[in-house]
Structure 1
Amino acid sequence: MYSFKQIQGIIHGSRVRLYFTFLSFPLVGMCLGYRDAGYVPFTFIFLIPILMANMSIANLLNALFDFESKIDEKETSSDRTMFDYDLTSKDIWNVVYFDILLMFSFSFLAFSHFNNTQMIYVFMYLCFDIFLAIAYNVPPFRLKTKLFGGEISGLLLFMTYVNLSYFLITGVSNMTICFTDFPGIILPMWAAIANFYIDSEEDKKDGSTSSAILFANTSIPKILIIGLPTMIYLLTIIYAIRHNNVYSCLPLLTIPMKFNVVKYSLQKKKLGKKLYFKSILLFNVLSIIGIIF
């Protein structure tokens, strides 16, 4: 039985405060599905706890293995879940197992209208998401410390969130829907690069070979931090023209915020990490408005 203090630690380590940003991706998928199918089934509500549980796995394991790697010890970040809240490694893993059970249990409610073949696709999505959440943090994979491992993991994880939402509504598993209809799907990759660049000194303690560390003496990380959002906005304009929808240009309103994120990231200021989550959330909300109208 967990104490109240330990439950607080689990909530803190799960980074619940960031769930609005994370959940904005499946909401984009929901709107794309509504656009193509004309309705949203009530069972969509059961998809939310599935994805929240998956986020909990990724964030708690990140806290655990950052703690065991002895990085970010002086920062008020998720690693403090361990030494501020009396949680042990076993406690964290028990929550992870519970989250996995919750994901599969709620899948039968969310996708109750699917046939057996479609459910196989659902379980493939869920297994892949669980694998990414674990492999991102846990040795020997620990993808966050590998060259472009963290960036690609973030991209793939949020791609599946969008695609799974779209699949639930339309019954069509469309792995290209993100790239053709949602330029913002590249934002998690950009955020990961910016995050690794800001935290490069701390990550060296973990033996990381992330792009920010491996290319530290080159301009590659800076080019990516500046170039990716530029590409995203260009794709947003192209998408708006292709669909003849001026509302699809609404995400361009986030350019000033992205400018500040880029500025603080290049200066390796922690404020950049707070701003990029807010900028992603705002971009996605404006994208949703553009899709609906």
Structure 2
Amino acid sequence: MRLLFLGDVMGRTGRAAIAERLPKLREAWRLDFVVVNGENATGGMGLSADHARGILAAGADVVTLGDHAFDQKDIVPLLEQEPRILRPINYSKLAPGRGARVYDAPGGRKVLVAQVLGRVFMKQPFDDPFSAIEPVLKAHPLGGAVQAVVVDIHAEATSEKMGMGHWCDGQASLVVGTHTHVPTGDAQILPGGTAYLSDAGMCGDYNSVIGMEKLEPMRRFVTGMSKARFEPAAGEATLSGVFVETDDRTGRALRVAMVRQGGRLQDAAP
């Protein structure tokens, strides 16, 4: 199976890049399944219902969220109605929506997608991500009940993301980090056959401070005072993420490649 995961969509420029480029990538790279993290797509804070529908219409099979999952209030009813949008699994059990589902892929194949939130350096006290993901993986054995498993670990600390990668090794096709908006260079296949990348980066303008216009973040760093709201940078976006090719029989990764498409970062293709 040919899988594509794209990192945090950042504001209007990120949404525009998804709408323009993702349909072309699906065709050119013969993609079977696409997951997009959309939790910063609306003004850099959360995902509105309309913007969620736009990302799905552009070719995403699943949209994952993160710590800003409920910032846009109109996403809440959509989480109950639209199974292709996932919030983190280790939110409260009373939270709307779900954190893991099995989806259909071409050829009768099945793909499990799950998202967990990290706890290190995060502002809210979420449930333990490791114990949250374990029963989901055990209920959907790779190469048995499902042909591929994608885990989005939305976290601040690279150490926690790496820990999740090794925790899931052999039980997932891909474990990929999101949240920091900075793409890492450590794409690899772990010993048990799981593809891993510490952070997919963002789909946004990299002439910025993690996707935001530079002036206000720099003012706060220098003076310790705020003057205005953060606003997403509006230049050309780079699509950042990871491509994985898997063995349908075992679900393990055969190939992994970082994706940097357009914008200020060098183009790359799997």
TM range (shorter): under 0.3
Query: TM-score when scaled to structure 2?
Result: 0.27
Structure with more of its chain in strand, by fraction? 2
Larger radius of gyration: 1
Structure with more of its chain in helix, by fraction? 1
Query: TM-score when scaled to structure 1?
Result: 0.26
